[in-house]
Amino acid sequence: MIRIERTALAIAAGLAGLLLTAAAPRAQETETEEMANRARLLQTLPADAAKRHFGTVKAALPGAARTIGSYAKGCMAGARALATDGPTWQVMRLSRNRNWGHPHLIQLIERIAKKAPQEAGWRGLLVGDISQPRGGPMLTGHASHQIGLDADLWLTPMPARSLSGGERESMSATNVVAADWMDIDPARWTKAHGAVIRLAAEQPAVARIFVNPAIKKALCRESTGDRDWLSKVRPMWGHNYHFHIRIACPDGDGACVDQDPPPGGDGCGKELSDWLAQQHKAYFGPKPPVSIDKKPPKPLPLSAMPEACQQIVLQK
């Protein structure tokens, strides 16, 4: 298994990303908005763009599960779809066809969903984007979610009834962060929000969870007893409507590029206060000048993806 080094540069890179993709689609975008964005993109994207190939393939490549490349540049074969309805979960935004993932991740989501009502006082999961049928880059949203090992879980508990198809397309997730981005919004945040994130973090299969720094602040403040689980909960831009769970490369997947485990400690000190300050500055500080002649980056061509991914996406 290959490992790559990640550093605190994530803060700077994320800031640049935030400013560049301020209009990028988010979990709460409706089907109408999402489909309009996709149609517009498909008109202008080069024919060889990797995201055109991966974003339009409708079904998984059958066979054994195989994960190739890294969370933000890779693909998968043998993906399994999470059932759109379970006893304690419902999949949202079905039109996106992003409920595909590695079988280990799908089983994990089912496990968390099963435990959520009893152990976290959370009726069930509303599941957002996992991956596309063959993973890979998406037409809209997400830098990662490319190898079937990432999933977004809404910060809205499942209602007591089955949502209609229309509701799943148009309903918005809940933003639990306050308007100043420095803490949670006490009118929306509940104990159960903290408990369901903790429940997920305590699953041995979970390698990382991404939440907004304001949410991490609340978890740090409210956590009682053992604090080891907090090391897996990493501050990240956005993630104020959903939290993001990530599992490690499956054993034996030699072509899967893993991340180092998160640093030890609860991460509630300087790293977190730096994130909060940086985020506040990004939203409320002076904006960097916009250069007019700066061209948007060229979309990644399929030929730049790992060779196995090119074969996986092109196979009928």
Binding to Zn ion in span 61-120, by CB under 5 A: none
Task: Write the binding mask 195 to 234 for Zn ion: x where contact by CB under 5 A, - elsewhere.
Answer: ----------------------------------------
Closer by beta carbon to Zn ion, 97 or else 311: 97
For residue 255, the minimal CB distance to Zn ion (Å) is 22
For residue 136, the minimal CB distance to Zn ion (Å) is 15
CA angle in degrees (0–180, nearest 5) for 307-313-315:
100
Binding to Zn ion in span 137-176, by CB under 5 A: 152
Binding window for Zn ion (CB under 5 A); candidates: 153-161, 201-209, 216-224, 243-251 = 243-251
For residue 18, the minimal CB distance to Zn ion (Å) is 14
Q: Give the total of residues touching Zn ion (CB under 5 A).
A: 2
Closer by beta carbon to Zn ion, 193 or else 244: 244
For residue 246, the minimal CB distance to Zn ion (Å) is 8
- Which pairing describes strands 2-4 and 257-259: parallel, antiparallel, or unpaired? parallel
For residue 152, the minimal CB distance to Zn ion (Å) is 4
Closer by beta carbon to Zn ion, 153 or else 302: 153
Tell me the one-letter amino acid at 167. E
Closer by beta carbon to Zn ion, 152 or else 253: 152
Closer by beta carbon to Zn ion, 37 or else 310: 37
- Residue 26, interface with Zn ion (CB under 5 A)? no
Q: Nearest-CB residue to Zn ion?
A: 244
Closer by beta carbon to Zn ion, 211 or else 305: 211
Q: Which two tokens stand for residue 13?
A: 């890179």
For residue 220, the minimal CB distance to Zn ion (Å) is 21
For residue 155, the minimal CB distance to Zn ion (Å) is 12
Closer by beta carbon to Zn ion, 149 or else 230: 149
φ, ψ dihedrals at 305, nearest 5°: -80, 160
Residues 6 or more apart whose Cβ sits within 8 Å of residue 72 = 143, 144, 146
**What is the three-state SS of the chain?**
CEEECCCCHHHHHHHHHHHHCCCCCCCCCCHHHHHHHHHHHHHHCCCCEHHHHHHHCCCCCCCCCEEEEECCEEEEECCEECCCEECCEEECCHHHCCCEECHHHHHHHHHHHHHHHHHHCCCCEEECCCECCCCCCCCCCCCCCCCCCEEEEECCCCCCCCCCHHHHHHCCCCCCECCCCCCECCCCCCHHHHHHHHHHHCCCCEEEEEECHHHHHHHHHHCCCCCHHHHHEEECCCCCCEEEEEECCCCCCCCEEEECCCCCCCCCCHHHHHHHHHHHHHHHCCCCCCCCCCCCCCCCEHHHCCHHHHHHHHCC
Binder among 244, 267, 299, 302 for Zn ion (CB under 5 A): 244
For residue 262, the minimal CB distance to Zn ion (Å) is 16
Closer by beta carbon to Zn ion, 80 or else 244: 244
Residues in touch with Zn ion (CB under 5 A): 152, 244
